[in-house]
Structure 1
Amino acid sequence: MTYCIGLMSGTSMDGIDAVLARFDAQGRPTVINHHSIELPEPLLSQLHTLCSPGSDEIDLMGRADRALGYRFAEAVKALLKTSGLEAEAIAAIGSHGQTVRHHPDGRHAFTLQLGCPNTLAIETGIDVIADFRRKDIALGGQGAPLVPAFHHHLFASETPRLIVNVGGIANLTFLDPNGPILGYDTGPGNTLMDAWAREHFGQPYDRDGAIAASGSVDDALLTRLLGHAYFAQPAPKSTGRELFNLNWLYSHLNSLDPLPHEDVMATLLATTVLSIADCAQSLAPSGELYLCGGGAFNGELARQLAQRLPSYRIDTTATLGLDPQLVESVAFAWLAWRHLQGLPGNLPAVTGASREAILGGRYPAA
């Protein structure tokens, strides 16, 4: 048995999730414990600034990188304390880091995640596996999404099955028992809704989709949002806040008559739902769809997905035995385990990389 810790701070930036998992010889995980902490407001503000195109201040990035490394370490220490384990029992921490830039296309494609792995290793006394995306990009891939390999490992089925992670950006994995595994980012998940909730309702997010449910979808705005070229782009593809952000939203809103804030929220939710549903229908006419990520707890989102996909059984990954909020964190613990075993972690059919590769770099604590 091998213990690994997985750390995840997604595009929603709603906090750091730390998961302690035990892996058997076949890499099957058992969740032992988990712990979540919020990002302090000054650091959150810095990260939001760094995610905004045009805000490329190197000093800010360097300080945020170290600050995030310390915060990741706090999450790990708290997790170990409540688990009753010492650092020596943990083989490695798999840390995704906080993405602040993701430009996966073109000759000089790159992706950038913060959360200094050296700081994390020194502060916890545990080896860290980090920088998972850039090997895949060096091989011509998108560097994302990386979780489909884990989804296949844990959730493979004899019937068509979709695993849909609705984080800041939504991504899906299509597990086809008769074909290759497919996966890609479908478009915005919670990122636009969260930003709108903060700016106009003073809330970190739209709890259970209540604000969206109180509004009406504006067809003109919905058509403009779904008209973005990304939605028609063939896979492999991945995206981030660089494309889908408040500036982009306002570029469309400013040319329309003023809308109630609730109607904008309803339209943003519809954008997320329709982009996911369109992808699901293009992959299989019917099947099972399991939600994970923060969006799995948005009842209005699930209700609208069920309306759009009546031939699908829709549930959360809790039905499959894994808390929807923990799927991605466990995935990065698993990717750390794969690295330790000398096994590849990417799926070229998903990312477009030229070959499989062992992902991540090792940052020793010693």
Structure 2
Amino acid sequence: MQPKLYIGIMSGTSLDGIDLVLVSFNSPKLSLLCSKLVPFPASLQGELRLLAEPGNNEVERIGPVENQLAECYAIGVQQLLKQANYQPEQISAIGCHGQTIRHRPSQPQPFTVQLGNMHLLAALTGIRVIADFRRKDMAYGGQGAPLVPAFHQAVFAKLGQNRAVVNIGGIANISLLNADGTTTGYDTGPGNCLMDDWVSLHRQLPFDKDGAFSAEGKLLPDLLQHLLEDNYFQQSAPKSTGREYFHLGWLQQRLSGQEAAADVQRTLCRFTATSIAKALQRPNLTEVYICGGGVYHPLLMADLQQLLGPATVQSSSVAGIEPDWVEAIAFAWLAQAFDRQLPGNVPAVTGARKACVLGVEYRP
């Protein structure tokens, strides 16, 4: 039987660009055939950052942004196919997450918003698109996030071993892959988002490359404790969050103004590590796989290893999937799960009343 080909597209809360992958599925195995990062145009990136927080005239601003996103996604798909030497008609579908600008799962009327004109993406590429993965889970009482644990379970779990997968993008989320075959998980809080915002404010850099800014500073224990006292960390799972909650304004409200900028950056690094480690505290945890941009922050990885030892903390590449592409592959996987009518959520993770087939189809 010929393997089926799917494209996965992910643009996350770090807002660093669009991750695209071409994946071959020959059930139950998958192979990554090609991958590509397409940076956001600066104007689009800036508009997405503004839309991630409440602002003025959002509806008028969202319309053009949705179309611009679809155009950027389509350009990425075309470049990916050219690089891999495949034609659109050879692709079963595109699984596209869209760009989250608001995630409010705990309100009286819960909702989530992912931007991207998927009809336009299908028209521009000539390929079916599967998108809108979160709202079906929310319709059944779930948080709609995190969505990747079902994929993590399929590719990283091993019976008899307690493993964890941690994605450290703008927001960090965990999947606990238990020895008995069950899976749980949730968003732990900020991943890179506060560190990115702080280094951007003080060094005009998009992120803390190699953790250099963090390494200049010293830990501020009182600030760390103050940050960890936020109500989000006291809530029990299932829970999820986003940039609309953890943003630069949230941080600045908790500062005295007397702190050295590098000391704040060092403390934010430890804050991310501590919030993740607290979520992973359980007996007999043996292996922790890290994916997302946080894997390239040496001090963050060292903090995690210190806090989680004796479990080993290492890149997901050790388990066979490069950390940059795990989430994009997950959305290719969710698209093929939609086509096979297999559940894409884990109710123990999201709190949904039942396992559901996730996604909506958009045809060219």
TM-score (norm 1): 0.97
In the aligned structure 2, how far is the partner of 1:225 from the partner of 1:284?
A: 26
Who is 1:58 aligned against? Answer: 59
In the aligned structure 2, how far is the partner of 1:312 from the partner of 1:132?
A: 33
Who is 2:190 aligned against? Answer: 188
Q: CA deviation at 1:179?
A: 5.6
From 165, 168, 186, the counterpart of 1:166 = 168
1:167-220 residue CA offsets vs partner (Å, 9 max, x unmatched): 000000000022621010000000000111111111110012111111011122
In the aligned structure 2, how far is the partner of 1:304 from the partner of 1:345?
A: 32
Q: CA deviation at 1:257?
A: 4.6
Query: Any residues of structure 2 matched to 1:140-219 within 5 Å, and which?
Result: 140-157=141-158, 158-178=160-180, 180-219=182-221
1:325-346 residue CA offsets vs partner (Å, 9 max, x unmatched): 1000000000000001111111
Query: Any residues of structure 2 matched to 1:66-105 within 5 Å, and which?
Result: 66-105=67-106
Contact 2:163 2:285 in 1 (8 A): no
Count of matched residue pairs:
361
Contact 2:97 2:133 in 1 (8 A): yes
- SS of the residue 2:186 aligns to: strand
Residues 115, 284 of structure 1: alpha-carbon distance in 2 compared, 3 angstrom cutoff: farther
Question: For structure 1, which segment, 201-210 or 164-173, has the greater mean C-alpha deviation from structure 2 after superposition?
Answer: 201-210
Question: For structure 1, which segment, 6-15 or 103-112, has the greater mean C-alpha deviation from structure 2 after superposition?
Answer: 103-112
Q: CA deviation at 1:49?
A: 0.8
1:95-134 residue CA offsets vs partner (Å, 9 max, x unmatched): 0011000001133100000111111101100000000001
From 19, 22, 25, the counterpart of 1:20 = 22
Cα RMSD of the aligned pairs, angstroms, is: 1.1
Amino acid at match of 2:128: D
Question: For structure 1, which segment, 214-223 or 15-24, has the greater mean C-alpha deviation from structure 2 after superposition?
Answer: 214-223
Question: For structure 1, which segment, 234-243 or 54-63, has the greater mean C-alpha deviation from structure 2 after superposition?
Answer: 54-63
Residues 306, 62 of structure 1: alpha-carbon distance in 2 compared, 3 angstrom cutoff: same
In the aligned structure 1, how far is the partner of 2:17 from the partner of 2:82?
A: 19
Amino acid at match of 2:114: Q
In the aligned structure 2, how far is the partner of 1:325 from the partner of 1:9?
A: 12
Q: CA deviation at 1:276?
A: 0.7
TM-score (norm 2): 0.97
Contact 1:77 1:124 in 2 (8 A): yes
1:115-168 residue CA offsets vs partner (Å, 9 max, x unmatched): 111111011000000000011011100000010000000011131001000000
In the aligned structure 1, how far is the partner of 2:172 from the partner of 2:57?
A: 25
In the aligned structure 2, how far is the partner of 1:9 from the partner of 1:63?
A: 17
Amino acid at match of 2:46: S
Who is 2:240 aligned against? Answer: 238
In the aligned structure 2, how far is the partner of 1:286 from the partner of 1:294?
A: 23
Amino acid at match of 1:189: G
In the aligned structure 1, how far is the partner of 2:101 from the partner of 2:243?
A: 8
In the aligned structure 1, how far is the partner of 2:277 from the partner of 2:232?
A: 15
In the aligned structure 1, how far is the partner of 2:114 from the partner of 2:175?
A: 22
Contact 2:133 2:358 in 1 (8 A): yes
Who is 1:37 aligned against? Answer: 38
Q: CA deviation at 1:279?
A: 1.0
